[in-house]
Amino acid sequence: MILSWDTTQRIIEELYEMLHLPVCVADMDGRILTKDGPGDIHGGAAGLLSRYAAGAELSAAVDGPDGVSMLTVGDKPVGVLIVEGLQKERQDQLFMAKRLAELLIRTSLLEQQERLHAINRRDLIKQWIFNDFVSEDNTFETCAMIAGLDISGRYVVGVLQVLSPDERPLDEEMMHKIGQSVSQHTTHMATLIGEIMVESKVIFLFGTESAVAVQRALATLKNILESSFSVSVSGGIGPASCDYRDVHESYEKAEKACTISFKSRGTAVMRYEELSIDLLVEEIPAQIKTDFVSKVFANCKKSDVDEWKVLLRTFFTQSGSIGKTAEMLYIHKNTLQYKLNKIKEQTGYDPRNTCDALKLYIAILFDSGQHY
């Protein structure tokens, strides 16, 4: 239906504002579409449509009697404009109202086409990223050309996961606001082809070979979102693809990098190429990691283990420096030595011994999925 409810209301409001004429609009069955008498058959409109259906020339049916006029787009009739109470000597006003109404209809159609184009483009980008197209034929290439997508370059996929501070999914209303903010702050990104939202994630497709540039752009966006909303943002960047068929691979690696960023509490937007030991840890089955951590901390109290994990993370972050670790934990160096001795006594592993420290380091790594 070309004449939607929104379109007809817009015609009525704008014509009244411009010409101060009370009007209503009927569809091609002569049924009134506007607030007053919706669905009722308008006699004048029905008569005009009957004459047209009986073979009257459209040009002859344009100016009907009693303030009734056919609305057309191109040469196609789309409805009837009715100006109630219009005196015969004021038919020029009907002609003006008709032209304005048709202009509003065409404008509305163009807006609908732009929205559909944007939706189709987003859907195509989604299919491209998720590899939901058949690569054996040229269907995707044809659709990309129609949508104005260049598939001859190099591409990088980035993923941002947006959660609440306690790492819960956001509701639909909040994700809508996040999406609006993303759109607002990405308009200046010249290489951005498009973005899509899937549940708690925003997935970006860039037409560039520089994953580093994408990392910088999404790191900035991460900071904007976290400062504008009460959210926690993790991010991952895939490697540049050499062919449009490799975009899905860039996406999968961006997802892995985003997962590792999330496990490291979203401290940074991570590039896949930056990851080394993190990827190895990610590939190890969860049960193996759990068993290893349980073995290292066997027969230890949970409260002690929780405290040791914080201490050991800081100790390894500071490259085993007693002074720096004590400073970071706000304790005396002798207190730190005492705690390290207790870990040695309870676990059998001395954090100050290279071989023992390696086992403890791996246990902490397996426990959190974070590289220190």
170: pLDDT strictly greater than 50: yes
133: pLDDT strictly greater than 80: no
Q: Tell me what the mean pLDDT of segment 52-61 comes to.
A: 66
114: pLDDT strictly greater than 80: no
First-to-final CA distance of the chain? 61
Look over the chain and give the mean of its residue pLDDT values, rounded to a whole number: 84
pTM of the predicted model, to two decimals?
Answer: 0.57
CA atoms within 13 A on the CB side of 26: 26
Please list, in sequence order, all residues whose beta carbon lies within 8 angstroms of the beta carbon of residue 263, skipping any fewer than 6 positions away.
368, 369, 370
CA atoms within 13 A on the CB side of 95: 7
At 284-323, the pLDDT tens digits run 888 898 899 999 999 899 899 989 999 998 999 899 999 9
Q: Tell me what the mean pLDDT of segment 5-12 comes to.
A: 79
Q: Which amino acid is at 110?
A: L
Q: Tell me what the mean pLDDT of segment 149-177 comes to.
A: 92
User: Which residue in the block uniquely carries the two structure tokens 């994953």?
Assistant: 211
Dihedral of CA atoms 109, 114, 115, 119 in degrees, nearest 10, equals: 140
At 256-289, the pLDDT tens digits run 999 888 877 656 899 998 887 766 777 788 889 8
What's the CA gap between 353 and 359, in Å, rounded?
10
> What per-residue confidence (pLDDT) applies to 330?
93
- State residue 135 phi and psi, 5-degree precision: -85, -10
pLDDT band at 199 (very low <50, low <70, confident <90, very high): very high
Contact 163, 231 (CB under 8 A): yes
How far is CA 319 from its chain centroid?
40
In order of their start, the domains of the chain are: 5-110 (3.30.450.40), 153-281 (3.30.70.270), 284-369 (1.10.10.2840)
- 334-360 burial: b if 16+ Cβ within 10 Å, else e: eebeebbeebbebbebbbeeeebbebb
> What per-residue confidence (pLDDT) applies to 106?
83
pLDDT band at 30 (very low <50, low <70, confident <90, very high): confident
At 226-247, the pLDDT tens digits run 999 999 999 999 999 988 889 9
